[in-house]
Amino acid sequence: MSVLDEIIAGVREDLAQRRLPLAQLHELMSTAPKVLDAHTALQGEQVQVIAEVKRSSPSKGALAQIEDPAALAGKYESAGAAVVSVLTERRKFAGSLADLDAVRQAISIPILRKDFMVDEYQFLEARAHGSDLVLLIVAALSSSQLKDYADLTQELGMSALIEVHTHDELERALEISPKLVGVNSRNLKTLEVDPQAFSDLIPRIPAGILKVAESGISTRKDVEFARECGADAILVGEALVRGGDAALTMRTLLGQG
């Protein structure tokens, strides 16, 4: 079993334990904050940042305690983040829907629910908790699931960030005419990071699709490389939560100080 398979198995087990009746979930959705336009937020002449609230990872273990995710998200917003990503997977990333709720109440920019989306329920759940953007990992989904989940995301008013790591995954992603494609330099099956994924895949994404470079970005040089490859935005977690001063780290990554 690969790392990705193991994570997904845990996600399904946790989902089975917290699943609410659909009527109750729809009631929560009816009172959720209005969807914010994440796609527009990630456009701009300068590289945009998706800043992540991330306590732990399968590859590095514990990264930061983050006792107050709302305060951290507020720092991200003040420092110029376009979107805040919140991990909600519990076993490997120490995240939760409570983190998502806290962040949603604290900031006014779009929020990405970062999780392994493998069940329709999770999309309704994401919207009920105020998500504006969800992650669809091509490696974790069949082609039919990818299309169905992308369609469901759109029906719910949210945006989908379609994540790829290989040429084959990119081809599958492009079949559903995505608006946002993320290239992850980390292989989720082995956890190895290879920045060459940026130079191999980002230039192959057609014009008109926003391109996000994910993982392995910790220095200004990394940001410049991603930008040279054609990235419109970067997703950064570990560097921000381990840097001590999240705002200063973000400014440094963006070449602002």
Q: Which domains does the chain have, with CATH numbers?
A: 3-253 (3.20.20.70)
The answer, yes or no, to whether residue 257 has pLDDT greater than 70, is no
Quick one: average pLDDT of 227-255? 92
Tell me what percent of the residues of the chain surpass a pLDDT of 70: 100
Contact 122, 15 (CB under 8 A): yes
Quote the CA–CA distance of 99 and 212 in Å, as a whole number: 23
Confidence of residue 126 (pLDDT cuts 50, 70, 90): very high
Q: Is the pLDDT of residue 123 over 80?
A: yes
- What tokens appear for 116 in the block? 């392994």
Catalytic residues: 52, 54, 114, 163, 184, 214-215
Taking only the tens place, the pLDDT of each residue in 142-191 is 999 999 999 999 999 999 999 999 999 999 999 999 999 999 998 888 88
What is the predicted pLDDT for the residue at 256? 86
Opening angle at CA 63, ends 72 and 48, nearest 5: 50
SS3 207: coil
Model confidence, pTM:
0.95
Average pLDDT over residues 104-110: 98
Tell me the pLDDT band of 1, cut-offs 50, 70 and 90.
confident
Mean of the pLDDT values across residues 110-124? 98
**Residue 121: predicted pLDDT:** 98
In the chain, the percentage of residues whose pLDDT exceeds 90 is 88
61 CB-contact burial (10 Å; exposed 0-12 / middle 13-18 / buried 19+): exposed
The DSSP secondary-structure symbol of 118 reads: -
Per-residue pLDDT band at 60 (split at 50, 70, 90): confident
* Residues in Cβ contact with 78 at an 8 Å cutoff, skipping those fewer than 6 apart: 247
Least confident of 54-58, 149-153, 168-172, 226-230: 54-58
* Residue 239 phi, psi (nearest 5): -60, -35
According to the model, what pLDDT value does residue 94 have?
95
Rounded to the nearest integer, the mean pLDDT of the chain is 95
Instruction: Output the pLDDT for position 150.
Output: 98
- pLDDT of the residue at 147: 98
State the DSSP code for 83: E
Q: What pLDDT shows up at residue 129?
A: 97
Tell me how far apart the alpha carbons of residues 99 and 103 are, in angstroms, rounded to a whole number: 6
How many alpha carbons fall within 13 Å on the CB side of residue 116?
A: 22
Q: What is the pLDDT of residue 79?
A: 93
Radius of gyration of the CA atoms of the chain, in A: 17
